[in-house]
Amino acid sequence: MEALATRGFHEESKRMAASDKKKQIPLRLSDSLYKEIASWAEEDFRSINGQIEFLLTECVRKRKKSK
């Protein structure tokens, strides 16, 4: 029974990964902005990339709300 649940979990994970592919983009930041984001990321227990993605997602969400 547990093996069946595990297989279902892995199949769902694969499906989600396939539908949620992320684009890779080069990003240039000033040294001071990078340091600020790095410090903020550390406070929030996120990677720098995760922090940037979080901030961009929040900005897009707020923009959609204001329209």
From first CA to last CA, the distance across the chain in angstroms is 48
pLDDT along the chain (67 residues), means of 10: 57 63 94 98 97 96 92
Q: Residue 64: what pLDDT?
A: 93
Q: Residue 2: what pLDDT?
A: 52
Q: Residue 41: what pLDDT?
A: 97
Q: Residue 52: what pLDDT?
A: 97
Annotated domain spans of the chain: 25-67
